Structure 1
């Protein structure tokens, strides 16, 4: 999976050949999670549950297809000729599954992801060329499937409605540019760079990028204009390369060697605090606190204003903020993750939500989870983080898992001939 939060993203069948960087914070936007659920049901599973109230709609997708739900569209990306690697993208209207359009995709590329932005369906894949493997994004009109443009790189939505395209990285210089979604016209671009690039997503789009050079020079740029807002020399003692994390209005410069963190205001790069925390894997936005995943397998919470430690625990693996609360998953269970609710400021456990595969129905919407039902199909529950409770809302008798969520509906793999079916959720 390319991202680490619970989301409406496409279903995967096999590993991504060109995985995206770990997504930034999950605060204020959909979370992404792809957890394998092999569960022994506990108390909630034994509770009485309402039967599925509506007949499901079978959707036209073959096993092995990549699918995505985007509002009232069901999108299917599937091979049409395995010998030539020809692929097509087809759109169907929900909830009935009526065909709308289909578009061929170039056989020269291998496609591994799709998303919807700015009235377009953006399909991402890679092509093998003289310079090696190149990631490419193709834009199709969402309403008709008509080809619009293609550009190198992976696309992100900007706060001004344009798109940011980023290509290269790892062993190749990176390229960053902003384009108009209507036609792919470049609005600004940066020269190719070997700097590491970090992106701040506000939940309404990306508004800042940070370039971190190997020599310690760090530069913050506005994505509306591409202009530099601030530059600073941050090379740590001994010449170790910095790890850069962006959390709200903070830039955390992490010395991977010593584990020292320097926190700066993002737009002016003025230093706010310094802390020695030991080895750190990464930082997370945990709402009122900054979470660190340490090399000692702990989740550590810091005050974002001072860097002072609020709490730490080796029981929690990851955290997602919900106002003053934090939903965390329990470490040590392998594929069988369990979700709990914490007080974000103290780390005190407030509730145990059980084990679920989670989906968020729109930004700020219902948080729905599924898990196997002992009599077959899947159990559907709605997780209320504020109340620390789970409400059982439905049973989908023929579902096998591999679900996606849209407002009021779940699309899941079904037992019937390896198809996908659309279930309307009970209120």
Structure 2
């Protein structure tokens, strides 16, 4: 069942449209916002109360770490009395019945959980006198039985194995590639680099780039650790050597004085192009274009093959590619998670639609794009965000939900104020 469609903006078509994103309009904006809000309220009221969704309530303490992994809901509950004896609880879905529970014999200030290859990996992060320490512990997904532990935080590899990274900004990075079944080390590099970058095209990392303080670079196969290319990209004359980032098939090297972005082929470090720009905050994949955010000229999008500028704008804070479009947030000073979202044409930067103000639910690669925000009467308003049509389709108002939610193809998992969770079935 599909709920009513809320038109929160306009979808633009036509070759004669302005190729640059239009600036914010001040005239008539308050009236327009009021009319849109009235339209939303009338639409919801005329549609009647949304149909009751199937939902399951599952226990969890406040500040628990959670993971929705296929047919399991996994909860790592805090234990203030015994911080080295946290409990890992698994509940079987869709009914939510207990599957198993086990103790996690580790202490940490922050935690993470991931699922892969038949195991659940719990990572404890602890600040030490020498930097940030991390320890990953593996448990059998079906029984909760303890399997192994290794130092480092986990990175999924394209070949199905794990890369464990130790170290931080204050100490060199060490790498261990391990088999997830038993923790067997396949290859390792101790004190490997000051900084690393990875290429992950959606199926796990397949390249590792080691960046040394003097600007020397090594590109390695993430599955075997074999060196594919070496080079020294540091700036001459004692200037800042810079650092590297990986974006698809490019290694992008950023040096300062002046700030220069130089692109190299990833596997051979063959130079492709170079561009001088203002100070850069980040470089990222924007689908068919390469984007970087500067403090002087705003967001720039260039052709990744030539470095030729396609478009620029000072309106957008951050963006990401989704279903052939770019989803962007409007630049503002708000510290809240609810942001004004827009859909852009990645090749021209032209604004195609406004989706409204939403907080995005966490979703897996290729998963649904779901937006949530507070409902005035309590709970969360949930909508499907369709970047192709530029529409936000109302799904439901979820009672007692407090955000931040996790989205899958057919369900939405949201925390409640008391720390417990509700799993809502969202049928098509």
Give the TM-score, by structure 2 length: 0.85
Q: Is the 8 A contact 1:256 1:280 kept in 2?
A: no
Distance of 1:323 and 1:408 partners within structure 2: 19
Note closer, same or farther for the CA distance 1:365–1:174 as it changes in structure 2 (3 Å cut): closer
Post-superposition offset of 1:233: 1.3
Q: How large is the RMSD of aligned CA atoms in angstroms? A: 2.2
**2:357 pairs with one of 355, 358, 364:** 355
**1:390 pairs with one of 385, 389, 392:** 392
Q: Is the 8 A contact 1:245 1:282 kept in 2?
A: no
Q: Is the 8 A contact 2:101 2:144 kept in 1?
A: yes
Distance of 1:176 and 1:107 partners within structure 2: 21
Provide the aligned length of Structure 1 versus Structure 2: 388
Note closer, same or farther for the CA distance 1:133–1:169 as it changes in structure 2 (3 Å cut): closer
Note closer, same or farther for the CA distance 1:44–1:260 as it changes in structure 2 (3 Å cut): farther
Q: Is the 8 A contact 2:239 2:257 kept in 1?
A: no
Q: 1:332 is matched with which residue?
A: 332
Q: How does 1:199-210 map to 2 (within 5 A)?
A: 199-210=198-209
Q: Is the 8 A contact 1:169 1:194 kept in 2?
A: no
Post-superposition offset of 1:374: 2.4
Q: Secondary structure at the match of 2:198?
A: strand
Distance of 2:130 and 2:356 partners within structure 1: 49
Post-superposition offset of 1:102: 0.8
Q: 1:423 is matched with which residue?
A: 424
Post-superposition offset of 1:406: 2.6
Q: Residue by residue, what CA displacement relative to the aligned partner does 1:326-367 show, whole Å, maximum 9, x if unpaired?
A: 111111151241110111111111100001111365432321
Distance of 1:206 and 1:43 partners within structure 2: 47
Post-superposition offset of 1:173: 2.0
Distance of 1:413 and 1:166 partners within structure 2: 30
Post-superposition offset of 1:45: 3.8
Q: Secondary structure at the match of 1:197?
A: strand
Note closer, same or farther for the CA distance 1:294–1:51 as it changes in structure 2 (3 Å cut): same
Q: Secondary structure at the match of 1:268?
A: coil
Note closer, same or farther for the CA distance 1:72–1:43 as it changes in structure 2 (3 Å cut): farther
Q: Residue by residue, what CA displacement relative to the aligned partner does 1:37-58 show, whole Å, maximum 9, x if unpaired?
A: xx99836642225614224211
Post-superposition offset of 1:398: 2.6
Post-superposition offset of 1:291: 0.5
Structure 1, unpaired ranges of 5+: 1-38
Q: Establish whether residue 219 from structure 1 lines up as the match of residue 218 from structure 2.
A: yes
Q: 2:73 is matched with which residue?
A: 74
Distance of 2:354 and 2:38 partners within structure 1: 11
Q: Is the 8 A contact 2:84 2:104 kept in 1?
A: no
Per mean C-alpha deviation after superposition, the further-off stretch among 339-348 and 190-199 is: 190-199
Q: 2:258 is matched with which residue?
A: 258
Q: Is the 8 A contact 2:131 2:167 kept in 1?
A: no
Post-superposition offset of 1:229: 0.4
Q: Is the 8 A contact 2:312 2:349 kept in 1?
A: yes
Q: Which has the larger radius of gyration?
A: 2
Post-superposition offset of 1:81: 5.0
Q: Is the 8 A contact 1:123 1:137 kept in 2?
A: yes
Q: 2:313 is matched with which residue?
A: 313
Give the TM-score, by structure 1 length: 0.85
Distance of 1:84 and 1:378 partners within structure 2: 33
Q: Secondary structure at the match of 1:42?
A: helix
Q: 1:34 is matched with which residue?
A: none
Q: Establish whether residue 191 from structure 1 lines up as the match of residue 190 from structure 2.
A: yes
Q: Residue by residue, what CA displacement relative to the aligned partner does 1:189-237 show, whole Å, maximum 9, x if unpaired?
A: 1232343111111200000000111112111000111010001111113
Note closer, same or farther for the CA distance 1:130–1:403 as it changes in structure 2 (3 Å cut): closer
Distance of 1:127 and 1:362 partners within structure 2: 27
Structure 2, unpaired ranges of 5+: 1-32
Q: 1:97 is matched with which residue?
A: 96
Q: 1:117 is matched with which residue?
A: 116
Q: 1:42 is matched with which residue?
A: 37
